[in-house]
Structure 1
Amino acid sequence: MRIFGIGDIHGGLKALIQVLNKIEIKDEDTLIFVGDYVDGWSESAQVIQFLIELSQKINCVFIKGNHDVWCENWLKSDDVNPTWYIHGGKETIESYAHFSKTEKKAHLEFFENMPLYHIDNENRLFIHAGFTSMHGVGKEVFKETFYFDRTLWEMALTMDKNINKDSLMYPKRLKHYNEIYIGHTPTTNFNSDIPMHAANVWNIDTGTAFKGRLTAMNLETKEVFQSDNLPALYPNEKGRNKD
C-alpha cells in the first residue's frame, strides 16, 4: 500500500488529474489531501465532485482548509464573505452555476465531514496550516488556527538545522509527531516550486493557486509527482495571480 500526501488544489482539476495519472493510482493506495480544494481556477465545483467520486473507489482523507470553510459557509447560507470573494470565491461561485440544489447539498455534506487534522498509524500529522499549542493539536483552543496559522512553518524554517529532536531546544509542539505535513503557505513564496522540508515539517503546497504546480508526495520514499504549472493548464485564466 502506498500513501500520498497531496497539496492545495485550488480549483485546478486538470492539475489533479495529471498528478493522479502520474502516480498511477491503485485501488489499495491512500491519498491524504491537506485542504484548499476550491478558489483560484475555474473548476472548484468540478474538483469537489471529482473527489467525492474518487473517495468511493479508493481510501481518501480530506483535511479542511480555510478556503473550504469559506465555501462551506456559502453553500450553507448563501453568505458571501467579502474576503473570500476576492481571494478566489468569485471563481468558485461561478463554477457552481450549473450544479443543482441536490448536488450542492452533497458538496456541503462533503465539506461538513472533513476533519481539521489527521494523525495516521505512523504518528504523522496532516493539517492544513498549523497549530500553536505546545501540547499538540488535541489541546488547541482556537480551531481556526488549524487552517490559518503560519507560525508553525515560520518557526520550522528558522530553526538551526543542527538541533535534533532529542535536544531540549527542539520546540515542544513539534516533538509530538514523527512528521507534520501542511499546505496553506505556498513554497513559491520562498522561490521553491517543490515541497520544502524544515525540522520535521513538510510543506507540500507548491503554489497551485498562483503560478506553481500541484504536488503529490509518496510519504515513504519522498518521491514527488507534479502537474504542469497551473497557468499553462488554464491559459485563459489568471487564477489568483494579479499580473
Structure 2
Amino acid sequence: MMEQTNESTGRLIAIGDIHGCNVALQAILAAIDPQPNDIVVTLGDVVDRGPDSRGAVETLLQCGQKTQLVALQGNHEEMMLNVLRGSESHHSWLRYGGVETLDSYGFDGGLDFLPESHRVFFESLGDYFVYEDYFFTHAAYDPAVPLEEQTVEMLRWHSLRQGVPEPHHSGKIAFVGHTANHEGQILDVGHLVCLDTHCYGGGCLTAMDVRTRQVWQANPDGVLLS
C-alpha cells in the first residue's frame, strides 16, 4: 500500500478488528479524541458479524474528517468486494458474517446497496502501511519478503494459529489483527502485536498507541475497560 517517511508530531494509533461493533468503536474514539496531527490505522475487518457495519463505516468516515485515517483491507472486506464485483459467489461471505452487513445496510436484493461515500471508502483500502519503525497489515507477513511483494493470502488470510512469523527482515515491528483472541487479550511477542480481541464475540475492541503502548478497550456495549 503505502510507506510514509515524514514523521508525525502526533500519536500513531492502531485499532483492531471492528466487525460491525460501532458502539464500541464510538466509545474508543471518544476516549482517544483523535487530533489532526494523529494517525489512526484501522487493521481491517470493519464489517461483518457484528450488528452495525454501516454505522462503523460512517463513524470512520467522520473520524477521517478530524484526523489522518489509514484504513486497511481485511479478508472480510475482500470477500464483500469480490461479491459486489461479481468475481466470487456470495455463499462464503454470507456464511462468515455478510448477512449482518447486508442487514445493516437495509439490503433489498440489489448489489448497489452501498452509499457512494462508503463505496469510495472500501475501494480505497490498502494492504499495508509503513511508518517509522512500524508496519501495519491485517493478518500477517512473510518475514523474508519485502512488504510490496507480499501475497494477499499472507497479508489478509494467514492465521497466527498456523504460526507466528519471525521478525520481518526490515526490523520493523508489526501490528496486525485477524486472529481473534477469545479471552480479549492482546498478543504481544515483541516483534509482532495482534490487536484482534474478539469484540463481536463478546470480547472487546482494542486500540493502542504503538509508540507509548497506551491501550484503550471497550466492550460491545461501549463500556470502556481501560
TM range (shorter): 0.7 to 0.9
The one of 173, 178, 185 aligned to 2:172:
178
In the alignment, does 2:140 pair up with 1:136? no
Give the equivalent residue in structure 2 for 1:38.
47
- 1:168 maps to none
Unpaired segments ≥5 residues, structure 1: 157-170, 234-243
- Select the residue among 211, 217, 227 that pairs with 2:208: 217
Residue pair 1:130, 1:152 contacting (<8 A) in 2 also: no
Question: What is the TM-score of this pair, normalised by structure 1?
Answer: 0.78
Q: Is it true that 1:97 corresponds to 2:106 in the alignment?
A: yes
| Cα distance change of structure 1 residues 145 and 135 upon mapping to structure 2, 3 Å threshold | closer
Offset of 1:80 from its aligned partner? 5.3
RMSD of aligned C-alpha atoms? 2.4
Deviations 1:94-124 (A, max 9, x none): 111179958533322211111101111x131
Q: Which runs of 4+ in 1 moved over 6 A?
A: none
- Tell me which of 113, 119, 137 is aligned to 2:124: 113
Higher helix content, 1 or 2: 1
Counterpart residue type for residue 104 of structure 1: P
Gaps of 5+ in 2: 1-9
Which is higher, the Rg of structure 1 or of structure 2?
1
Amino acid at match of 1:49: E
Q: Distance in 1 between matches of 2:161 and 2:180?
A: 14
1:47 to 56, 59, 82: 56
Contact 1:75 1:108 in 2 (8 A): no
* Matched residue, 1:23: 32
Residue identity opposite 2:138 in structure 1: H
2:208 aligned counterpart, secondary structure: strand
User: CA offsets, 1:120-179, max 9 Å, x none?
Assistant: 1x1311000012261232222x323210012597235xxxxxxxxxxxxxx4x5231321
Deviates more, 1:96-105 or 1:123-132: 96-105
Identity %: 27
Deviation of 1:59 after TM superposition, in Å, equals: 0.4
Give the Å deviation of 1:88. 0.9
Q: Which residue of 2 aligns with 1:12?
A: 21
C-alpha separation between the residues in 2 aligned to 1:210 and 1:78?
29
